[in-house]
Amino acid sequence: MAAEIHSRPQSSRPVLLNKIEGHQDAVNAAILIPKEDGVITVSEDRTIRVWLKRDSGQYWPSIYHTVSSPCSCLSYHHESKRVFVGQDNGAVVEFHISEDFNKMNHVKTYPAHQNRVSDIIFCPESEWVVSTGHDKCVSWMCTHSGAMLGRHYFTSWASCLQYDKDTQHAFVGDYAGQITLLKLERQTYSTITTLKGHEGSIGALCWDPVQRLLFSGASDHSVIMWDIGGRKGRTLLLQGHHERVQAVRYLQLTRQLVSCSSDGGITVWNMDTPREEAPQWLDSDSCQNCEQPFFWNLKQMWDSKTLGLRQHHCRKCGKAVCGKCSSKRSAYPVMGFEFQVRVCDDCYLTIKDEDRTPLATFHEGKHNIAHMDMDPSRGLMVTCGSDRVVKIWDMTQVVGCSIATGFSPR
């Protein structure tokens, strides 16, 4: 049911420590148990399992509980040993785990949604459970009474969620590629703003309450950092994946961002360095370098007796240019472009070799990653996905010794 990887080479890459197998369907969420060699998983096979590491080095389920509907998401509060599980039928179920992690008791079932629950966050300070679902809404419920406190509807599926307990602000990502910021109150709420920048559905959100930064990953293969605390609308685009981004986690101590994608890509971004915002793409009816008309500019095409050209954009300056004037490709990590992208010929000449130095490292998880969790105090990461396998990684060689020791290199 479980296998241990004994080899632990010392290299600057994630080291696979364990593989947990035994699920009959996709594993939708896996959470590391703080201060324990344990993992909690929920799966499409309708099971909630608590895996503990035995003396043999293998992980075996100490709790194996089956519910009535596939399990879609998970929230765990370690101090109180409370587990909240979202289900495909729209319900959120609360359980309490015993101190020895060998027993789990049902506490309450919340009728949170009319369709699949996509994300859950439990806030012990307010005793709220906040959730999003495929019924296009976010709901917040009281864990004391089980009563619905409020609900807000969107125009598309609500896919992921983050919550700032100090200000009671919720960030909700949806399948339309937007992130809505809501101020939640008992029995009411207010919409603060909508963040637009992705060209695909939002797959994951991460909130850093210290620096007040929001990170979002999406199906457009990109990650965006939103500087909420700066109040200037500053955003940083990060492109270092080849498939949809489905998990993000910011390590505040070392100023690093870890993002995972559906093709198994694991990217570690150095955020402790000056970065530039990507420019807005400019609009023009003709190339802003050679002034040749684009194919929709019928008047200039007729006047100049030339065929119109296809419009492209330089990723460095944002100019609208033709293919001939943007024949070069270059990485430009300071602007978040870790892979080669189109730049105009003028900008290409300004990019030096040192400007192409990567500001991220790239690793291979070798399985579909639908969910990821990290324990920064131990340098551990757990990943899971549709291949029904849960993997536990040692990340200390990737994110630096500061993760394991608790000291920042700054």
Nearest to 53 by CA among 94, 116, 101, 91: 101
pLDDT, one tens digit per residue, over 251-287 is 999 999 999 999 999 999 999 999 999 998 998 988 9
The pLDDT score that the predictor gives to residue 263 is 95
pLDDT of 229 > 90? The answer is: no
* Cα–Cα separations (whole angstroms), residue 308 to 291, 322, 380: 11, 10, 55
The pLDDT score that the predictor gives to residue 409 is 33
pLDDT, one tens digit per residue, over 155-201 is 999 999 999 999 999 999 999 999 999 999 988 899 999 999 999 99
pLDDT, one tens digit per residue, over 81-112 is 999 999 999 999 999 999 999 999 999 999 99
The pLDDT score that the predictor gives to residue 297 is 66
Question: pLDDT category, 404, cuts 50, 70, 90?
Answer: very low
- CA 276 to chain centroid: 21
Report the 10 Å Cβ neighbour count for 397. 18
pLDDT, one tens digit per residue, over 6-49 is 333 344 889 999 999 999 999 999 999 999 999 999 999 999 99
Q: DSSP string covering 242-279, please?
A: SS-EEEEEEETTTTEEEEEETTSEEEEEE-SS---PPP
Least confident residue range of 73-82, 308-317, 353-362: 308-317
pLDDT averaged over the chain?
Answer: 90
Instruction: Report the distance separating Cα 296 and Cα 120, nearest Å.
Output: 47
pLDDT of 5 > 90? The answer is: no
* Cα–Cα separations (whole angstroms), residue 182 to 153, 164, 330: 11, 10, 39
Q: Look at the alpha carbons of 83, 84, 88, 89 in this order and tell me if their dihedral is positive or negative.
A: positive
pLDDT of 4 > 60? The answer is: no
198: three-class secondary structure by DSSP: coil
The pLDDT score that the predictor gives to residue 406 is 37
Alpha carbons within 13 A on the beta-carbon side of 64: 8
Instruction: Report the distance separating Cα 376 and Cα 395, nearest Å.
Output: 9
| Cβ pair 148, 183 in contact under 8 A | no
Q: Quote the percentage of the chain above a pLDDT of 70.
A: 93
